[in-house]
Amino acid sequence: MSGKASMYFFGGVVSLGLLAFALPGVSVGAIYTGNSGCKCHMGKGCFEGEEYKERLHSNTWEKRLKGTPDAENPDCLKCHATAYGEKIEGAGVKYLPNVQCEACHGAGSEYKKLKENFEGKGKDAFKALLKKDPFEARKVQYDAGLIVAGINSPATVKEQCVKCHWETKDDKNKCPKTDKLMDYKEYFKKDDHRDEDELDVALKKLSPEEKKKWAAILPKDEILNQPLKPKKKND
């Protein structure tokens, strides 16, 4: 099985000096919505666009399961599809095909709303907050249930990858239908879709004291300190 190798947003819930707040799991009441219209940080219609289509995650169900006896196999859908067994937007939807954004970033209904109409102020309100106070913007996203491996949950990107990939043939979670093993560093390079945004620019200017203040929003996983792609001008 190929599966939910990680995707990474630079988002975060942070500890503001003495004003600490918890890093949430899944936001209460959040449901899975699918990739349609996603514009997080990979350019226009990111997961509907060419960049996503080039990634192995874009066809994990269509290429491996569609038209086969395993197309509805729960064991296969856990990694080749998204949100199997979870609450999904739309009547009668049992799962979302392929490994979509929410497979790694959590049910998106609540953090999606932030960009649509933050605090009832319209679609540009969250964008304005991101420019004015990128750290607070990331706190808001995490409060709404956004999950970021290596920053808030799980502790490392690799922990997320090994839920559906394995490095040894005797791994207890290994799919019996394939002998393909994961070269983690190589997989990371292939799937790394981080790009530079307002928070990343601000992080470069932090003083040592500010770094302590915002420690919870900084990458915990060393692999996330690798260089980012430049921010696209039309994002």
pLDDT at position 73 is 96
pLDDT at position 120 is 95
Contacts of 69 (CB under 8 A, 6+ apart): none
pLDDT over 70 at 230, yes or no: no
Per-residue pLDDT reduced to its tens digit, 21-33: 233 344 568 999 9
Q: Beta strands of 68-124 (E only): which ranges? A: 81-82, 96-97
| Over residues 44-69, mean pLDDT | 77
Lowest mean pLDDT among 45-54, 98-107, 192-201: 45-54
How high is the mean pLDDT of the chain? 81
pLDDT at position 187 is 92
Q: Which among 210, 26, 175 has a CA at the least distance from the CA of 106?
A: 26
Label residue 231 by pLDDT band (50, 70, 90): low
Q: How far apart are the first and last CA of the chain?
A: 33
| Over residues 205-227, mean pLDDT | 87
In this structure, what token pair is assigned to residue 98?
A: 């392929």
Q: Where are the domains of the chain?
A: 87-92+103-225
pLDDT over 80 at 18, yes or no: no
pLDDT at position 28 is 63
Strand-pair category, 81-82 with 96-97: antiparallel
pLDDT over 90 at 109, yes or no: yes
Label residue 39 by pLDDT band (50, 70, 90): low
Burial string for 176-209 (b: 16+ CB within 10 Å, else e) reads: eeeeeebebeebbeebbbbbbbbbeeebeeeeee
pTM of the entire predicted model? 0.80
